[in-house]
Every structure is written in structure tokens, then in C-alpha cells.
Amino acid sequence: MEYARMRLELDGPVGVVEFDRPPANAYDLGFLEELDQVVEEVRRSDDIKILVLRGNDRFFSAGADINMFLGASPEEIGKFALFGHLVLDRLERLPKISIAAITGHAMGGGLEIALACDLRFMAQGKAQLGLVEVKIGTLPNMGGTQRLPRLIGKARALEMMVTGRTVGAEEALALGLVNRIHPADKLLPETLEYAKTLARGATLTIGLIKQCVNEGVEQPLASGLALERACGAVAFRSHDFKEGSKAFAEKRAPAFLGR
């Protein structure tokens, strides 16, 4: 499928989505609609095992296009925020690992898109991350008030959001906001190599692990353990478990199929 505001390309088993809305990859309704379509395309694809989202060297995404809000009613803005929540929820629930490869600034809603990904890898250098909405008199409306505290803790997240403070790669890594940092020229190659390594693994089971973590962490322990047992039952019936067990016994590398 062709998209106007982003591109989806395959690099082996990895789907790479490059945002393409110059100059700063600010999103509007059409951008979010396309992101939603991309997520659905990736979900349905048997060829795409891992999803990577990236921007350009200057901006992963600057967040919402403010021009869109000029003259809009609070009700219209609220409907837009609801749609954004739905889109990022579907990204978060994608049964495949998603990685945000951040080479440029990720501000406001741009960071909120990255927060909905499973992993975040960031380039060292000038790029900054922040939920800066308070500086224009509003708050993060794309899930940031909920996802950031769950990721880095309530106190640290609150301080970032009420001040609109931004952080660079090293501090983001120390906070747990990103998983890995790399020199700018190495970020995309390293991210793709990491993604391909995951894609060669037992991707059905990887998706089940993601489901257990994402859903179980919001439940009481007993409910989370029940979810783990249910997902484990699926994994134990899979081709990959049979192949992995046989390969272990035969002292060879397994040939996983993701099913």
C-alpha cells in the first residue's frame, strides 16, 4: 500500500516505517490515519516479523501540527485525541515487537508515538526527547501522562512533564526512557541488526511474552499468572517449541518459523 506521509519498506523480515512529513514530521489527522493503516498492514503480514519506526536526522517527530488546532473547538480536539489514543493503543498491542529508532528530536506527541513502541533506540548527539506540551498551556494528550510514568516512574515523569524539560541520549538511557544509544551513524544499522536477530527467533513466543508483560503488569498477580499460563499453553503447542526442544537435544541451532 502507498502512503503520502510515510513509507513502509521491507528489509528482510523487518518492516521499516519512515515518517515523511517535512519539515519536522509533525502529525495531523491524515498522518495518524496512515500510521493506523501501517500498523494493520504489519499485523496482517506473514513476511514482517518486527516493526521499526524512524524519522529523519533532525526530527523523529515534532508532535502534533499546531496549525491543526487553530480555530478548532475543544470538542474537535478531544475527538482527535481519542483517535490518537486508539491508534497508539493498536500499535502497543501489535503482536510483534516494535522499535522506535530515534535519530532526531522526539517532542510532545512525537515522543508519545515512541512511548507506544516496545523498545526505543536513540542516536547520541543533539537529539532531545520531551513531553513539552505544558509550554503551550496544555498537557500530553496521546498517552504520555500514562505511559511515561509506567516507564520511568511517577516522580521523574511528573517532573519532566510539569517543566517541559527535555533530555538527551545519555540521560534518557539513565532514566530508562530508551533501551540503547548508539553513535548517530550507527543507530539505524544497529537497530536493523537487532531487529533481524529477533526476527530469526521464535516470534510467536516473543509476541506472547509481550502480551504477558503488557497486559499482566496492569493486573493483580494472580490474574497475571493466569495469563502467563494461558500464553504458555499456546507456546507449548507451537511448532517453534517442538523445534527448539528437539534442536536443544540434538545440540544444533533451531530453525524457528514463528508458528
User: Where in the sequence numbering do the catalytic residues fall?
Assistant: 112, 133
Residue 231 CA from chain centroid, whole number: 22
| Euclidean distance between the first and the last CA atom of the chain, given in angstroms as a whole number | 25
- Between β-strands 6-11 and 14-19, what pairing exists: parallel, antiparallel or unpaired? antiparallel
Instruction: Name 121's bridge partners.
Output: 101, 180
Q: Which of 206, 258, 10 is nearest to 95 (CA)?
A: 206
107 in helix, strand or coil?
A: strand
Query: Cα separation of 74 and 131, whole Å?
Result: 20
Residues 258 and 240 sit within 8 Å (Cβ to Cβ): yes
E strands in the chain: 6-11, 14-19, 50-54, 59-61, 98-102, 105-107, 119-124, 129-130, 180-183
DSSP 186-199: HHHHHHHHHHHHHH
